Amino acid sequence: MLKKLIAATLYTALSLGAIPATATDLSAAAALREGTLQKLGFHDAPKDVSPLPFTTTDGVEETLADYDGKLVLLNFWATWCAPCRKEMPALDQLSAAYGDQGLVVLPVATGHNPLPAIRSFYEKAGIETLPMRIDAKGAMARDMGVLGLPVTILISPEGKEIARMTGDAEWFSPSAQAIIAELLNVTPLPPADDSAESH
């Protein structure tokens, strides 16, 4: 009995010991929030995500579990949502910059979003790297507690929600890149040379 009690106590201590490391990682990322990214709220403890499916443009079902092992920036949006449309090019830039380093930017059009309208918006906005995913009835968004749009959720490689933002943001700003780079444990891209563009 005593051995079991000691083993249980040791297991609990080891389990609790793993939490501060994660919290430290998140606090480092949280400290990098500036400008519009100040609205990004990091959770004290990771949260479960919805198991409900969403679909590709071909109607193939996927779930967030399909992206385990990657840092996922899940963005709920709609074609009729002006702030959603505004931030999409920056999300596309973020995806292009960090997609080969373990980041998946995953926009999910939720609610009534006809596929032709999604395709038309992607074309007009010059979206090149982002996938098209659809939550046609909004079931997944509701299960994730999404009450307005846009909502962006950061999901750890372990498949847990670690941060959330309601409203649009400058997702390719230095602050956004620094946060993503910190979570990926990679070096942020150097700042763009604006002087080269002016010549």
Bridge partners, 77 (sequence order): 109
Cα–Cα–Cα angle for 122, 50, 109, rounded to 5 degrees: 15
Active site residue 81: yes
SS3 call for 190: coil
Q: Catalytic pick from 26, 29, 40, 81?
A: 81
What sign results for the dihedral spanned by CA atoms 167, 171, 175, 176?
Answer: positive
Active site residue 84: yes
Q: Catalytic pick from 84, 106, 140, 183?
A: 84
Contact 148, 154 (CB under 8 A): no
Contact 99, 129 (CB under 8 A): yes
Name residue, tokens 């750890």: 156
Rounded to an integer, what distance in angstroms lies between the CA atom of residue 34 and that of residue 54?
A: 32
H or E element, residue 22 = helix 2-30
Rounded to an integer, what distance in angstroms lies between the CA atom of residue 173 and that of residue 84?
A: 16
Positions marked catalytic: 81, 84
